[in-house]
Each structure stands twice: as structure tokens, then as C-alpha cells.
Amino acid sequence: MSSVNRATAVGFISIVLWGILALLTSLTHGKIPPFQMLAMTFALAFLLMLVNWLRQGKSGLEYTHQPMLAWLLGVGGLFGYHFFYFLAMAHAPVVEVSLISYLWPLLIVLFSALLPGEQLSKFHLIGAVLALVGCWVLIGGGSSGFSANHLTGYLAALACAFLWSSYSVASRLVKQVPTDAVGWFCGVTALLGLICHLLWETTVWPADWVEWLGVIGLGLGPVGIAFFTWDYGVKYGNLQLLGVLSYAAPLISVMILILAGKAEPTLSVLFACLAIVGGAFIAGQGKPSR
């Protein structure tokens, strides 16, 4: 396996972990305020990396010495995305927010063409659009239509899409920054989340071990390991293919919920599966990034 394919496979781990996000979130029963959840899960992500440093006999302080661009990208991408996502959810219906915010994989494919040494082929573009259609069919069933009354929420959701895609693509510009530094980006994100929580929310602790399991699972998986593997994947893998493969996350999420008995299989799920897998296959025919 080539180094590019290996890095792409590492990046795909993130997509699988994001696919179990809904199931783990359901364990918390939606009782924990969003910024409190942000602070708790990103703190766990930081502790996960801290354990890794201690295991190697390091303090981790050496990874704080990074270019300002890396700090702006890291903290801006991680905290900025979640801040605007919570803002969008507060001002618009969840389905419409999901439809708009999930433009980020397509934007990754498009923005990648702006990087030196990158190629955007018709296969990448066709595959991304086909996967996007599948994603929209999958999560758009409960949409009540877009309304001007929710414009603030829609703009915030669009900011999510631009922030995460920009963070993912621009990470190539700081690929010399080791993935260990993402641990510090997570730590700062947790601190900012705590500040927002103390300013605007009332603390609600998990009520039982099931809710704690959901929080810990989120902190170690979709928030912890996922952001570390994503950093490695977008820096060294096939960026265009990772963008298209990202549309598998909501599909994985629905499939897991079906297996867990929390959702029902439908024709829209089947269509989405065919479209997303087909889109990934088509995108895979394009030449990988150099």
C-alpha cells in the first residue's frame, strides 16, 4: 500500500467514528448543554493525547511551538465549526442545518484544486455531487422546506461548511506540524467551550453511567481519535477522495441506528447507499493528489 493510500485509510477512520456520533449522542439523551458537551469531550480528547505523550516519556510542551497559522487553523477549525453549528441549531430546524452544513465534503473537493500540486478531475467532481445527492436524500426526509425566518441559522450552517472544508484543505499548508499538536488545539477548544458554557448555559451533569458512557465515548472516539486521524489523512492522503468518502458518515450513522433498533430501513436509505458508494467509486477513478 502506498503512503498516500495508507494516509487516506487513516483519514477514513475519522469518517467511521463520526458515523457512530449519533448513537453515542443518543446515550446522553440530549440533556447536556452543547458548550458543556464541547468542553467535556474536547478535554477528554486532550487527555487522550496527554496519555500518549506520557507513554512516550514526553510532557507535550514541545508541541506548543507551532506557527501562528497552524494555531489559527486548528483552533479556528475545531472551535469555530462547533460554535457556528450550535448557533445554527438554535436558529433553524435540525434537518435544514444538516443539509447545508454537509456541503463541506463537496467544498473540500473544490477547494483542493487551489492547492499547489493538486489535481481536480471530472471523476472527483461527479463523484462528490452524486454522493451529495445521496446524503441530501438520506437526511432530508424530515425537511419542512427552507424559510426566510431561519436565515440566521442557514448562514451559520453555511459558515460551518466553509470553516471545516477550509480547515481540512488548508492543513496541507502546515503539513510539517505534527498531529500531536492537535492535542493542544483540542485543549484550547475545550477551554473556549468552558468559557461559553459558563457565560450562557446552566451546568447539567450526566445522570447515570449510560450518559457518562456516551460522553466518554464521544470524547475518545468521534472527538478524540477522529480529529487526530483526520489531521493525518488530510495532510498526507488523497484529499479529494476523502472529501467524497466523508458522505459515508451520515450513511454509517443511519445504518448503525437501524442495527440498534433506533431507526427503520427505507428506500431512501437504499438509494443513499447506492449514491454514496457509487460516488466514492467514481471519485476513486480520478488521479490521486501528488
Q: Is the pLDDT of residue 49 over 60?
A: yes
The three-class DSSP label of residue 288 is coil
Looking at residue 144, its pLDDT comes to: 66
Q: Is the pLDDT of residue 55 over 90?
A: yes
Q: Is the pLDDT of residue 287 over 70?
A: no
Looking at residue 108, its pLDDT comes to: 94
What are 130's three cell numbers? 452524486
What are 50's three cell numbers? 496527554
Q: In whole angstroms, give the CA distance from residue 144 to residue 102.
A: 18
The residues spanned by each domain of the chain are: 3-283
pLDDT band at 269 (very low <50, low <70, confident <90, very high): confident
What are 18's three cell numbers? 463520526
* Residue 156: Cβ-neighbour burial (10 angstroms; 0-12, 13-18, 19+): buried
pLDDT digits (tens, 9 = 90+) for 128-153: 999 999 998 888 876 667 888 889 99
The three-class DSSP label of residue 20 is coil
| pLDDT, mean of residues 93-117 | 89
Compare 120 and 107 and report the one with higher pLDDT: 107
What are 19's three cell numbers? 458515523
CB 88 within 8 Å of CB 156: yes
pLDDT band at 30 (very low <50, low <70, confident <90, very high): confident
Looking at residue 142, its pLDDT comes to: 67
Q: In whole angstroms, give the CA distance from residue 251 to residue 255.
A: 6
CB 22 within 8 Å of CB 251: no
| pLDDT, mean of residues 252-280 | 88
Compare 179 and 284 and report the one with higher pLDDT: 179
Looking at residue 222, its pLDDT comes to: 96
